[in-house]
Amino acid sequence: MKKNLICVLLFSLLFFSILPATRAFAAGVDYQLPYPGILPDSPFYIFKLTRDNIVEFFISNPIKKAEFDIDKADVRMSAAFYLAEQKKSLNLIEPAINSAENYFRKALSNTKQAKAQGMDVGGVVKRQVRANLKYQEVINEIEKKIDKKERGKIEAIKIKLESLEVSAKVISQ
């Protein structure tokens, strides 16, 4: 009985834990990124990715899926910031940023799908626009923390994020 209870508790902590934000990012955009929890350089990161894939599989509503994707993009961008703050290599930071970008693209796609189905997407679009502005702000902070030789890669990411911001605004129209 105790073994089952412990297994259920561990499962719950592993798959359903949400950590509160503990660090404020630059105060330019009124949007709070969450604490990333396990970072990509951890050997346990694969469990986090597995959990995310399982949860995503069970979401069918396009609005809920878009919100989930924004949440995951927020976590990945926050992880990129923390990696940069810890002076980690751009080889770790860049995939986290790209993952955030991919989740954001999926959120935009799900929002378009929801709009096509006649759902109200106003709240999600507002959140997407604010999130994207925050991502651009975080990228600027990361750029300050990395080696000057690697800043060219960050410029390309900034351009992609600006185009995603335009896409989010187009959906709202």
| pLDDT tens-place string over residues 74-101 | 999 999 999 999 988 888 999 999 999 9
| Residue 105 pLDDT > 60 | yes
Q: For residue range 2-19, what is the model confidence (pLDDT) as tens digits?
A: 555 444 444 554 444 443
Rounded CA separation 136/143 (Å): 10
What are the structural domain ranges in the chain?
A: 2-172
Q: What are phi and psi of 168, to 5 degrees?
A: -65, -40
Average pLDDT, the chain: 83
Helix (H, G, I), strand (E, B) or coil at 23: coil
| pLDDT on residue 172 | 60
Mind listing the pLDDT tens digit for each residue in 116-145?
A: 999 999 999 999 999 999 999 999 999 888
C-alpha 129/C-alpha 98 separation (Å) is 18
Q: How far is CA 35 from the centre of its chain?
A: 11
What is the rounded end-to-end Cα distance, in angstroms, of the chain? 56
Q: Residue 120 burial by CB count (10 A; 0-12/13-18/19+): exposed, middle or buried?
A: exposed
Q: Which two tokens stand for residue 98?
A: 């790209």
Whether pTM exceeds 0.75: yes
